[in-house]
Amino acid sequence: MSKIENNNVREYKCNGWDDFVKQVRVVRFAANRIYRGHRDCSWDLSSSWERSLAKMRGNDKSRNVRELFSDGAYEKFRDGYLDRFKEHSIGLPAFQSTNLSENDWWALGRHHGLTTPLLDWTRSPYVAAFFAFTDYMEDQNPGFKSEPSQQGVIFGEGNIVVWELVMLDEIFQNGEFEVFTSRPESGHRQKAQQGVFTKLDHEVHLDVEAYLTSKGLAHCLAKYEISGQEMGRSLADLALMNITPATMFPDLDGAASMANIWNVYHTLQMQGFHSG
């Protein structure tokens, strides 16, 4: 593994899946670390709400996003997503809406596709890698979760990335950045995925890396890049760890997804875990 310093963010170029596993074993039980996986190394650590603001702001990354709204309209527009989600959720069969905090509601919505200011993380680097590689698989093999191809699995180019955030006390001193865990009765997916959420509220910086860099705290972030060619080996190992669609999504959707892609795991084995 080679380590690259990039604007104080610790970057690691892993020499394969086994190299990644070896590295995270060193820090796996260290306190106050959370992880997030991306299939594309160029993606920012920004929520769906922040991405919408970035589009509205355009190329001027120094502009205060609240200037795009009239007085009080910023919060009203953001919270409107949550208000409408509540309206359509309360009263649904088998849904318990009592005793949910505001963050619980945001977290619940996040796991069901709501536009939110939350970014979801996990306490497990392996779970983060699972999401990065399955998203990468879907990108390279569109529809594999529902209509897997019988022609073999395509391995593409490029790297996936697993982000690590070390949660030092100084990150949270001014109240702009928050980390929390939500465990409502209906939050089975959050529990299975060891889910944790970050919530950034800043007028200019719309992603976690830019925010921490502005505070001189970029060293709290690390990113591990792994070749997409390791997709087969990683998913096979993760299945042995019982990290699969069925366990990460403990519901009927997860069961159906796992049934659909079971042959894909077999194909990966037949292909020798790699493209060559």
The span from the CA of 17 to the CA of 3, in Å, is: 16
Is residue 231 a contact partner of residue 116, using CB atoms and an 8 Å limit? no
Examine the pLDDT at 190 and tell me if it is beyond 80.
Answer: no
What is the pLDDT at residue 274? Answer: 47
Range in 3-17, 92-106, 192-206, 234-248 the model is least confident about:
3-17
SS3 12: strand
What is the pLDDT at residue 6? Answer: 46
Among the listed residues 233, 238, 242, 237, the one whose alpha carbon sits nearest the alpha carbon of residue 272: 233
CB neighbours (10 Å) of residue 238? 20
pLDDT in tens, 117-171: 999 999 999 999 999 999 998 888 887 777 656 666 777 789 999 999 999 989 9
Examine the pLDDT at 97 and tell me if it is beyond 50.
Answer: yes
- Residue matched to tokens 């949550």: 82
Range in 86-95, 103-112, 151-160, 239-248 the model is least confident about:
151-160
- pTM score, whole prediction: 0.88
Residue 245: its H or E element: helix 245-248
Q: Rounded to a whole number, what is the distance in angstroms from the first to the last CA of the chain?
A: 22
